[in-house]
Structure 1
Amino acid sequence: MSRRTAAILLAAALAAGTAGCGATGGSGSGARVLTVFAAASLKAPFTALARSFEASHPGSKVTLSFAGSSDLATQLGQGAPADVFASADPANMAKVTGAGLAEGSPRNFATNTLTIAVPPANPAGITSFGDLARPGTRVVVCARQVPCGAAAVAVEGKTGMRLAPVSEESAVTDVLGKVASGEADAGLVYVTDVLGAAGKVKGVPFPEAASAVNTYPIAALRGGREKNLAQAFLDEVTGAEGQKVLADAGFGRP
């Protein structure tokens, strides 16, 4: 990790600790506010990139709204104001572009792969995807309309196994939270979520995940008020520094 990237990530972590519900920055006096809707799995790297962007664009503030991609796409379709949308899959981006809400074509900027999250001691002894189907195993997944849920369904189709989850969540961070709190024996999350969990969960990789790799697209939004800043933010995410921050968080290249 470069010294610059490490400094950005440290600043982002400190900011996230005081930012409450994932929003960074504020309106400020005379500040140009860029509103970014981003998939929940992007919280750590996008918080870092927002701080870097503000530093390189004096007078700007980046407000981040994190949630499941399907929820964000629905909000945008209902008129929620935003300048940029970063989705965890092409399907939810297609809802936005299909409604005529995107400015130009989306750019793919990252990939992510599922892994199994278990509590650090792994009390249920989960070692494979097949173990998730054992009777009595408390498994949590994302709802199928959420990208991590769609990926789980794809893996089920590939393996011919059907899971019986005790809960289906609207965001991958909620799945991670249930595993970390001990409410579940295992959950299907992204590799990046386990890396960012700081030891609260342990990852169990499984080869079948390679059949359902998610590609992340990003687009400026037609109704946004800060079009120049939006394009600049897209350039940062897809550029060398953005790709470095994403790689450090565990994301793959598109």
Structure 2
Amino acid sequence: MNKRGTWARLGRGAVLLALAAALLTGCGGQGGPGGAAENRPAAVKPAPSGQPLFAYVGAGLKEPVTEIAAQYEAQTGVKIELTFNNSGALLSQAETAKKGDIYIPGGKPFVEAAQKKGIIENVVGPIAYHVPAIITPKGNPAGIRDVRDLTRPGLKLVLPDKEATAIGKNAFKTFEQLGITAAVEKNILATVETLPKVSAMIGMGQGDAGIAEYSSVSNQKDKLEVLEIDPAVNVIDEIPCASLTFSTQKEQAKDFLSFMQKEGPGVFKKFGFKVPQQ
């Protein structure tokens, strides 16, 4: 073999080796050792699907949850569609429809009931506390000072449904502790299915007192007054946030739960709710 042919073959080989080295260097710059990919986070959050999340929300939580949903959409681009009702009705609706992503009832017992039905995926909380309180028209014309005063003959009371609402359930637990259930029931003018209806009726002077959430007067101070129930007998509930097993966007729902856990307490506090110490 002559020297010219040998050098020609060696030249071609050197070119091929150089090309291979360049390709390997390029790949390393993108994803190989020492490349830029080493600076990326280990797990990258998937891009939003573009589909909204659907949430079942207790009616008494409308204001804070609406604001939290707006904040989440602004941050992620994912819209949260909200439906409001009493917690019991929402549980029945979710169980029947077997659709939706998030359940935010007024109390933990409703999530526990949903867990028994097998429709809860994940739970975070407490986001805030659901605190029963006595509300009266401005000036408290009936002169109510204590939960035992609700037994006074002739009073007209507006109470939340004790089966459908967390506050209603807990108020009647307090009455039972004190042995005043029968006397209170004699004074019931109306039983309503949501807390906002209690506030609306008392604000319009359609009753002497009602039981609602402690935060009920936060934006109605010109119409209502609030009286705290003695903590020794008051039954306070946790407000949780849960994702549903039949969600078709489980990762996005889980991300919303994380957002709610972090940002929710501050927003609930803004609307007058009592929240965990931060």
Q: TM-score, normalised by structure 2?
A: 0.75
Q: Which residue identity is paired with 1:126?
A: I
Please give the alpha-carbon distance, in whole angstroms, between the structure 1 residues aligned to 2:157 and 2:231.
Answer: 17
Task: Give CA-to-partner distance per residue, 1:120-151, whole Å, 9 cap, x none.
Answer: 13222222212211111000111111211111
Shift of 1:184: 1.0
Corresponding residue for residue 253 of structure 2: 230
2:268 to 228, 242, 246: 246
Corresponding residue for residue 159 of structure 1: 178
What secondary structure sits across from 1:78 in the alignment?
A: helix
What secondary structure sits across from 1:218 in the alignment?
A: strand
Shift of 1:208: 4.8
Please give the alpha-carbon distance, in whole angstroms, between the structure 1 residues aligned to 2:151 and 2:53.
Answer: 44
Corresponding residue for residue 61 of structure 1: 79
Going from structure 1 to structure 2, the CA distance change for 1:68 and 1:217 (only over 3 Å counts) comes to same
Shift of 1:39: 1.1
Please give the alpha-carbon distance, in whole angstroms, between the structure 2 residues aligned to 1:34 and 1:197.
Answer: 31
**Does residue 1:95 correspond to 2:113, yes or no?**
yes
User: Which of 1 and 2 has greater Rg?
Assistant: 2
Please give the alpha-carbon distance, in whole angstroms, between the structure 2 residues aligned to 1:126 and 1:100.
Answer: 43
What secondary structure sits across from 1:166 in the alignment?
A: strand
Please give the alpha-carbon distance, in whole angstroms, between the structure 1 residues aligned to 2:107 and 2:255.
Answer: 22
Corresponding residue for residue 71 of structure 1: 89
What secondary structure sits across from 2:100 in the alignment?
A: coil
Shift of 1:212: 0.2
Going from structure 1 to structure 2, the CA distance change for 1:105 and 1:49 (only over 3 Å counts) comes to closer
What secondary structure sits across from 2:146 in the alignment?
A: coil
Shift of 1:80: 5.2
Aligned residues: 223
What secondary structure sits across from 1:32 in the alignment?
A: coil
Please give the alpha-carbon distance, in whole angstroms, between the structure 2 residues aligned to 1:195 and 1:80.
Answer: 35
Q: Is the 8 A contact 1:83 1:221 kept in 2?
A: yes
Aligned-residue identity in percent: 25
Q: Which moved more, 1:207-216 or 1:84-93?
A: 207-216
**Does residue 1:170 correspond to 2:193, yes or no?**
yes
Please give the alpha-carbon distance, in whole angstroms, between the structure 1 residues aligned to 2:229 and 2:235.
Answer: 12
Please give the alpha-carbon distance, in whole angstroms, between the structure 2 residues aligned to 1:186 and 1:100.
Answer: 39
Task: Give CA-to-partner distance per residue, 1:186-212, whole Å, 9 cap, x none.
Answer: 100011122233533111223157530
Going from structure 1 to structure 2, the CA distance change for 1:121 and 1:252 (only over 3 Å counts) comes to closer
**Does residue 1:42 correspond to 2:56, yes or no?**
no
Shift of 1:224: 1.5
Gaps (5+ residues) in structure 2? 1-48
Corresponding residue for residue 103 of structure 2: 85
1:124-163 mapped onto 2 (5 Å cutoff): 124-145=142-163, 146-162=165-181, 163=184
Q: TM-score, normalised by structure 1?
A: 0.82
Shift of 1:113: 1.1
**Does residue 1:117 correspond to 2:174, yes or no?**
no
Q: Is the 8 A contact 1:69 1:92 kept in 2?
A: yes
1:192-207 mapped onto 2 (5 Å cutoff): 192-207=215-230
Gaps (5+ residues) in structure 1? 1-29
Q: Segments of 4+ in structure 1 off by > 6 A?
A: none
What secondary structure sits across from 2:81 in the alignment?
A: strand
